[in-house]
Amino acid sequence: MPQKASKQSTVTRVAIFASGAGSNAQKIIDYFRDHPSVRISLIVCNKPGAGVLGIAEREHIPVLLIEKETFFRGNGYVDELQAAGIDFVVLAGFLWKVPPTLTAAFPNRMVNIHPALLPRYGGKGMYGMHVHEAVIAAGEKESGITIHYVDNVYDNGDIVFQATCSIEPGDSPAALAAKIHELEHAHYPKIIEQVIVHLQNQR
- Catalytic residue positions, numbered: 114
Do residues 184 and 163 make contact, with C-beta atoms less than 8 angstroms apart?
no
Q: Which of 15, 16, 17, 22 binds ligand GRF (CB under 6 A)?
A: 22
Q: CB-based burial of residue 201 (10 Å sphere; 0-12 exposed, 13-18 middle, 19+ buried)?
A: exposed
Do residues 43 and 26 make contact, with C-beta atoms less than 8 angstroms apart?
no
The answer to the question of residue 37 lying near ligand GRF (CB under 6 A) is no
Provide the 3-class DSSP secondary structure of residue 196. helix
Furthest C-alpha separation in the chain? 51
Q: Which residue, 61 or 92, is less far from ligand GRF as judged by CB?
A: 92
Q: Which residue, 113 or 197, is less far from ligand GRF as judged by CB?
A: 113
Q: How far is the CB of 5 from ligand GRF (least distance, A)?
A: 26
Q: How far is the CB of 4 from ligand GRF (least distance, A)?
A: 27
The answer to the question of residue 20 lying near ligand GRF (CB under 6 A) is yes
Given the rule CB under 6 A, which of 13-21, 69-77, 157-165, 168-176 is the region that contacts ligand GRF? 13-21
What is the distance between the alpha carbons of residues 193 and 5, in angstroms, rounded to a whole number?
10
Judged by CB under 6 A, the number of residues near ligand GRF is: 17
The answer to the question of residue 144 lying near ligand GRF (CB under 6 A) is no
What is the distance between the alpha carbons of residues 2 and 193, in angstroms, rounded to a whole number?
8
Residues 82-101 close enough to bind ligand GRF by CB under 6 A: 92-93
The answer to the question of residue 23 lying near ligand GRF (CB under 6 A) is yes
C-alpha dihedral sign at 108, 66, 183, 176: negative
Closest C-alpha among 111, 99, 172 to residue 146: 111
Do residues 133 and 101 make contact, with C-beta atoms less than 8 angstroms apart?
no
Q: Which residue, 43 or 196, is less far from ligand GRF as judged by CB?
A: 43
The answer to the question of residue 21 lying near ligand GRF (CB under 6 A) is yes
Print the binding letters for residues 180-199 with ligand GRF: x by CB under 6 A, - otherwise.
xx--x---------------
